[in-house]
């Protein structure tokens, strides 16, 4: 379908692919998704929020809840050696904040948070009135 282009030592398409890879390398460092990554799991008794935050000390995290809004903030420091120069940085560094709106039936007075193996788990129980209950028929 396409004929060969004469006068080029490399394929024109190979050159376009090389330029695309270089552009991706340049712009990839500036394009970051939200940090930390979040998973929210809900069941009738509680809502569990998991935040993936490896390399962060638990004392550098601030977790708060007001009504049904959960806020997690903190700071992730860079771990570069002083004897070398940084050539590429893909890990998020600096201050971060994630704010999540939880279901309206959560009880902000019944919250637990833990940090194990780089994962923050925040468990918010639902209000007793919102939990399903079995009604016996007499």
User: Into how many domains does the chain fold?
Assistant: 1
Q: How far is it, in rounded angstroms, from Cα 92 to Cα 48?
A: 24
Position 32 scores a pLDDT of 56
pLDDT for the residue numbered 109:
93
pLDDT digits (tens, 9 = 90+) for 55-76: 888 888 999 999 899 999 988 8
Query: Given this model, what pLDDT does residue 93 score?
Result: 77
Here the tokens at position 111 are: 């919250």
Cα distance between residue 102 and residue 48, in whole Å? 10
Q: Give the per-residue pLDDT at 69.
A: 93
Quote the pLDDT of residue 12.
72
Domain span at 58: 33-77+94-129
Look at residue 11 and tell me if it is in a domain: no
For the domain that residue 64 is a member of, what is the CATH number? 2.60.40.790
Q: Is this model's pTM higher than 0.75 or not?
A: no
Give pLDDT, residue 29.
Answer: 47
Residue 105 within a domain? yes
Is residue 9 in a domain? no
β-pair partners for 106: 126
Note whether residue 117 is domain-resident.
yes
Does residue 10 lie in a domain region? no
User: What residues in the chain have per-residue pLDDT under 50?
Assistant: 1, 29-31
The strand ranges marked E within 8-127 are 37-42, 46-52, 61-66, 69-76, 94-101, 106-116, 119-126
């Amino acid at each position: 379908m396409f004929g060969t282009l004469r006068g080029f030592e490399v394929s024109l398409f190979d050159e376009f692919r090389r330029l695309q890879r270089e552009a991706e390398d340049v712009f990839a460092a500036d394009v970051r998704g939200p940090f930390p990554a979040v998973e929210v799991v809900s069941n009738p008794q509680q809502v569990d929020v998991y935040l993936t935050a490896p390399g962060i000390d638990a004392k550098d995290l601030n977790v708060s809840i007001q009504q049904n809004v959960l806020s997690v903030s903190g700071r992730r420091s860079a771990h570069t050696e002083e004897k070398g120069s940084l050539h590429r940085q893909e890990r998020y560094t600096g201050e971060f904040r994630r704010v999540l709106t939880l279901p309206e039936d959560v009880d902000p007075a019944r919250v637990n948070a833990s940090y194990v193996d780089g994962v923050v788990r925040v468990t918010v129980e639902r209000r007793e009135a919102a939990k399903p209950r079995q009604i016996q028929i007499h």
